[in-house]
Amino acid sequence: MSNKGNSPGRPPKFNEARRPVTVTLPERTLQQLAAIHGDRARAIVKAAATTTRVRSGKAPPVEVVEAFSGQSVIVIGPSRSLRQIDWLRLVEIAPSRFLLVVPTGTAMETLEVAVGDLLENLPLSETYERGLLSELHQILRLRRRQQAVTKAEILLLRPGTDPCPKASR
C-alpha cells in the first residue's frame, strides 16, 4: 500500500511506503516486542533496524543514546583496545553494542586519560580502533569541559546466583 494523499483516519506512523502485514508470533516474541515499544509496528521496525544495522556494520562505533529524559549513556562497538584497560568493563547490551562500566570511585578523568593514552600509542593502520577511540575521547573531553558528566550505578549479580529464586511456600 502506498501513501495516500488526503485519506481520512489516523495519520501514518511512518514517512515511507508501507503496507499491512499479518503474522502469527509466539507469545514470548509479542512480550519482547512490547518491551521494545508499546506500539507493535514501531517495535518491529525498531528491532529490524537495530538488528540489520549491527549486522551490516553500519552501527556507529560510538553513540550517545538517551537513557531517560535529560540523561544519556555512551554505547560503543567492539573494541580490542579498550579491553586493555584492566579496570574498565565492556558490558554487551545488544549484539556488538557495549556500555562502559568503571569501578565505583573512579574519576571520569581517569577514563579520558586512559583512552587518550591508548589512542596515542595506536598505529595509524588501526583505522577502526582509532576512529572509535578518537570519538570516545572527544565525547569524554567535551562533556568534562562542559561539566556535563555524571555517573550512576548499575546492578551487577555474582555468577552462580539464581537471578529469580522461587518463592518459598
pLDDT at 95: 76
Model pLDDT, residue 86? 95
pLDDT over 60 at 167, yes or no: no
The alpha carbon of 88 is separated from its chain's Cα centroid by a whole number of angstroms, namely 17
- Rounded to 5°, the CA angle 81-141-110 comes to 60
**Residue 61 cell numbers, joined:** 562505533
Hey, where are the domains in the chain?
Answer: 14-52, 59-153
pLDDT tens-digit readout, 146-159: 998 888 888 878 88
Task: Kindly report whether the global pTM for this prediction surpasses the value 0.85.
Answer: no
**Strands, E assignment, the chain:** 62-68, 71-76, 89-94, 97-101
What average pLDDT score do residues 120-133 get?
A: 92
Q: pLDDT (tens digit, 9 = 90+) per residue, 91-119?
A: 988 878 899 999 988 988 999 999 999 99
pLDDT tens-digit readout, 28-69: 999 989 888 888 998 898 888 776 665 556 778 899 988 887
Question: 58 is written with which cell numbers?
Answer: 553500519
Give 116's Cβ-side CA count (13 Å radius): 10
